[in-house]
Amino acid sequence: MSAADLSGRIALVTGASRGIGRATALALAAQGASVAVNYRTGMDDAAAAVKDIENLGGTAVAIQADVSEPAQAAALVERARQELGGLHVLVNNAGISRDGLIFDMDADEAWHVVKVNFGGVLHCTSAAAGHFMAQRDGSIVNVSSVMAEGGWTGESSYAASKAAINAFTMCSAVEFARFGIRVNAVLPGFTPTNLVRSLLDKGKGQQLIRQIPVRAFADAEQIAQVIAFVAGPGASYMTGALIRVDGGFGAQLGAGHVGG
C-alpha cells in the first residue's frame, strides 16, 4: 500500500454534504476509500456528493444524523459499518459557528456551538472506539481550526469548542495508541466556506488576506488533501498531532508583515 492508497479502507466523514467535509469525502474516495457521507439537513447536497464519488468509480452512501446527539452518532457509526462493510477512518468535521461578542452572548447559543463542534467529536469517537479497538486498527482525524490557538473578536464560543477538540485529540491519541488507533487534528486557516463567509464579507476578506503570508485563502480541497494524508498510511507514525494548514497565518507574531 502506497502513502496515498486507501484501497479497501472504509471512511465516515461527518458534515460531509458541503465545504471541507465534502471535499474530504471526495479526496478519500479518489484514493480508493469507500465513504459514508454524513449530513444533518443537506440531503440533496449529500446525495450529490455520493453521486460525484460514484462517477469517479467509488462507493459511497449518504447517512443522516445529528452528531451532537449521542444516540444519533452511535446509530451513524453502526449504519456506516453495516452499509459499507466495516470502518477504518473517522473524520470528525461537522461544525457550526455563531458569531457574537461575549458581552452580548446568548448562553444557550454558545453552548449549542460547543455541543455540535466538540460534542460531535466526542460522540462519534466514543461510538467508533470499540470497533477500532477490537480490530486494533483505526485512524481518527478531527477538524479543528487555527481559531483554537488564538483570540479573535466575536468567535469565543467557536474558538473554545475547537480548543476542546485539540485537547481531546491529544488525550485520545495517548489512550488509544496501544490499540493501534491514531488520532490527529487538522487546523484549517481561513477557508471561504459557508461557515466563515461572514468574516470575509464587505471588504473584510481583502483586509484579512494581507495578514496571511501566502496572500491567499485556502481552498476546501487543499485542506481535504491534508486530512486524507493524515488519515492514510503515509502518516502511520503520526498521532496526537495538531497540524495547521493556514498559509503561515499562525506562524506570525501579531499581524506579521502588512506590506504588499
Active-site positions?
158
Dmax over Cα atoms in the chain, in whole Å? Answer: 55
Letter string b/e over residues 135-162, b meaning 16 or more CB atoms within 10 A of that residue's CB? eebbbbbbbbbbbbbeeeebbbbbbbbb
DSSP run (H or E) holding 188? strand 181-188
Q: How many residues does the chain have?
A: 260
Give the separation between CA 159 and CA 87, rounded to whole angstroms.
Answer: 30
Q: Contact, 238 vs 182, CB < 8 A?
A: yes
Q: In what order do the strands lie in the sheet with 242-245?
A: 60-64, 34-39, 10-13, 89-92, 138-143, 181-188, 242-245
